[in-house]
Amino acid sequence: MSIFKSQKALVEFALTLGVFSLCTGEFAMMGLLSDLSTAFAKPETSVAHLISAYALGVVVGAPIMVLVGVYLNKRNLILFLLGIYTISNALSLLAPNYETLLLSRLIAGFPHAAYFGVAATIAASMAPFNKRGKAVSRILLGVTAAILIGAPGATYLGQAMGWRWVFGSITILSILSLVLLCRHAPEVEKEPRLDFRAEIASFKSTQVWLALAIGAIGFSGMFGVYSYLAPTILHVTHLSANWIAPMLAVFGVGTMIGNLAGGWLYDRYKFFAVNQVMIFSVVALFAFPLLSSTPAGITFGALMLGCMVALTPALQMRLMDVSKHGQSLVAASNHAALNFANALGPWICGLAINAGWGWTSTGYVGAAMALVGSLIYGVAWALEKRSSEAVAKLQNTES
């Protein structure tokens, strides 16, 4: 029994370490923009394409990795996913130029969305039936750790030792996770084969597409502002680079609040919770340019940015409610939609900055994107109301 418990603990640790590595690699770029700008002699708005490249990799990779899952069992699939991520980070470490680094970040995003689903399945398979939720929640602690510790730590490391040390450290973490999983990860007994036709069938629903559109467009404003948080701290608030990492940690605290709030709001208000988060985002993003002029203001602004993550659990629950068939591809598509937002936001905000509108213009652009997300919610709500009324009318007619 003790051997089984130690194996289970090692597997959970390895899975959590993989999540930590993935999320640190995703968010580390935000704190390294100024350093990479100097290293490659490119403006921050161009270097921000490294953020968008990873996000686009998640978007493109999500359905591809789900399709690969048709042919591999969970154990082999997670080793495959971590292998891709490890190799791509090693390529980032050794990148001789900006173009190679851009390509490596694109490839690094491929396994991101699929990893979470497979890791959750393996963790749940090793736990008693009534403790599966706790097992999965322990794995997802890697996300919180990455936001609170990984991203700020990567910023400190990059400032002190150089950006290559960041990718070197991430590579070592993913190798450790890969080795542990290779040695100890179990086969998932009686795992059902993924039915790709059933997964695709969920996308016949207009409500699924509208929910994904809310995330892809409405959430892009948060990513746009967050991506340029470091340059804003330096050029608008006029603080030293030493303030960047603490501000990323404040953002991390906001994400913890947002994750808890998003689930609570959906339990209480259902789909309306999504619109509440979008309205909050419009107000917070519009206020960000005013807040960013003082240290206290930008600290509060970074906290509110993190709180916007409340949209993530609310949208995930919405997708689970409206998808009638297999949900693996829908869940991966939610990650893809949010990472599309991570690509769209920095790009559009970068256009505004390059047009001479200033660093604070990211807040106004972000607020406009959040407003579009709220309008998409309005369309989804109207269609759902019309459908419910039609069903009620039909039932009254039949009775």
pLDDT of residue 259: 79
Residue with tokens 């029994």: 1
Asked if residue 208 and residue 165 are part of one domain, the reply reads no
Asked if residue 375 and residue 264 are part of one domain, the reply reads yes
Asked if residue 199 and residue 71 are part of one domain, the reply reads no
pLDDT of residue 398: 62
Distance CA 107, CA 84 (A): 8
Asked if residue 132 and residue 241 are part of one domain, the reply reads no
Asked if residue 163 and residue 230 are part of one domain, the reply reads no
Please work out, in degrees rounded to the nearest 5, the angle formed at the alpha carbon of residue 27 by the alpha carbons of 23 and 29: 135
Asked if residue 55 and residue 178 are part of one domain, the reply reads yes
Asked if residue 220 and residue 116 are part of one domain, the reply reads no
Asked if residue 237 and residue 142 are part of one domain, the reply reads no
Looking at the structure of the chain, the number of domains it has is 2
3-state secondary structure the chain: CHHHHHHHHHHHHHHHHHHHHHHHHHHHHHHHHHHHHHHHCCCHHHHCHHHHHHHHHHHHHHHHHHHHCCCCCHHHHHHHHHHHHHHHHHHHHHCCCHHHHHHHHHHHCCCHHHHHHHHHHHHHHCCCHHHHHHHHHHHCHHHHHHHHHHHHHHHHHHHHHCHHHHHHHHHHHHHHHHHHHHHHCCCCCCCCCCCHHHHHHHHHCHHHHHHHHHHHHHCHHHHHHHHCHHHHHHHCCCCCHHHHHHHHHHHHHHHHHHHHHHHHHHHHHCCHHHHHHHHHHHHHHHHHHHHCCCHHHHHHHHHHHHHHHHHHHHHHHHHHHHCCCCCHHHHHHHHHHHHHHHHHHHHHHHHHHHHHHCCCHHHHHHHHHHHHHHHHHHHHHHHHHHHHHHHHHHHHHHC
Residue that finishes a domain, picked among 186, 210, 225? 186
Residue that finishes a domain, picked among 186, 218, 243? 186
pLDDT of residue 3: 42
Cβ atoms 153, 170 nearer than 8 A: no
Asked if residue 179 and residue 40 are part of one domain, the reply reads yes
The parent domain of residue 3 ranges over 1-186
Asked if residue 170 and residue 116 are part of one domain, the reply reads yes
Asked if residue 89 and residue 70 are part of one domain, the reply reads yes
Asked if residue 161 and residue 256 are part of one domain, the reply reads no
Cβ atoms 213, 43 nearer than 8 A: no
Residue that finishes a domain, picked among 134, 168, 186? 186
Distance CA 339, CA 342 (A): 5
Please report, for the domain that includes residue 335, its CATH number: 1.20.1250.20
pLDDT of residue 95: 92
Per-residue pLDDT of the chain (399 residues; tens, 9 = 90+): 444 467 788 888 999 999 999 999 988 888 888 889 889 989 888 888 898 899 889 888 887 887 787 777 888 888 999 999 999 999 999 999 999 999 999 999 999 888 887 887 788 777 776 666 567 667 777 887 888 888 889 989 998 999 999 999 999 999 999 999 988 877 765 555 566 676 677 778 899 999 999 999 999 999 999 989 989 999 999 999 889 889 988 998 998 888 778 878 888 888 899 999 999 999 999 999 999 999 999 999 999 999 998 888 788 778 877 876 655 667 667 778 888 898 899 999 999 999 999 999 999 999 999 999 999 999 999 998 888 767 666 666 665
Residue with tokens 């130690």: 6
Cβ atoms 215, 330 nearer than 8 A: no
